[in-house]
Amino acid sequence: MLNMISHGDPTDLPPLLIVHGLYGSARNWGVVAKKLSDERQVIAVDMRNHGESGWRDTHSYPDLASDLAEVLQEIGPADVLGHSMGGKASMVTALHHPDLVNRLIVADIAPVAYGHTQLPFIHAMKKVDLNTVEKRSEAMAQLEEAGVEDPTLRSFFTQSLDLKGGKWRLNLDVLETEMPKIMGFPEDISGQFDKPTLFLSGAESDYVLPEHRDTIRGFFPKAKFVKMSGAGHWLHAEKPTEFIASVRTWLARA
């Protein structure tokens, strides 16, 4: 079972399950989860090979969907919110286990394969000499030397650093090996999720493009599309107030 962090108590409304993206964790979503838990219980998970969840030898989307289905069987049918990698995992879960998902929110990702890679970040994290790191700032400095120019990303990555244990809470070797699967989307997947689905994207992001919409509607015929102005791929971190308001409004109407 994946590690879960629960916010709030069960209510008459279905719980909301939050699924983080690559290199993330349930803790990264604490602000969003706490705010949304004033109306319903919110549960954030650590995906396999991330955070406090177990490490596995594979990281395909059918694997991730199976992990999420196990959680949903435990907490009951839920609304599901997934970002990036977590959005793809949530989409596959909804397609494979539609009885476990009430409504779906996909944050800045489409059910398509992408041509870029996240491998340089893994290589940078592997270059950090954890034997010499006593403070998070020291790891951030080494990440900068390794080529991670964006200070926001350096801060984000080091949230997955276990300083006391001297290790990353990320299975970097498996994530590196499985990167083609992470950047892709299962080619043999079929079916439809015929329930309300929101594709919430950053207006400054190029992850969800107009040419993706036919593919999206093929899987999710009730898909609605909303773009958040001034936000990129990390829309929940860049514009948390607007992101929370968009999620709350849609859940109240869908």
* Residues labelled as active-site residues: 84, 173, 233
DSSP letter at 29?
G
Asked if residues 129 and 142 have their Cβ atoms less than 8 Å apart, the reply is yes
C-alpha triplet 88, 60, 42: angle, nearest 5°: 45
C-alpha triplet 117, 119, 123: angle, nearest 5°: 160
Please state the three-class secondary structure of 184-238 as a single string: CCCCCCCCCCCCCEEEEEECCCCCCCHHHHHHHHHHCCCEEEEEECCCCCCHHHH
How many CB atoms sit inside 10 A of residue 50's CB?
A: 28
Distance CA 198, CA 159 (A): 28
Alpha-carbon torsion angle 128, 129, 133, 137, nearest 10: -20
Residue 192, by phi and psi: left (phi above 0), alpha (psi -120 to 50) or beta?
beta
- What value does the CA radius of gyration of the chain take, rounded to a whole number of Å? 18
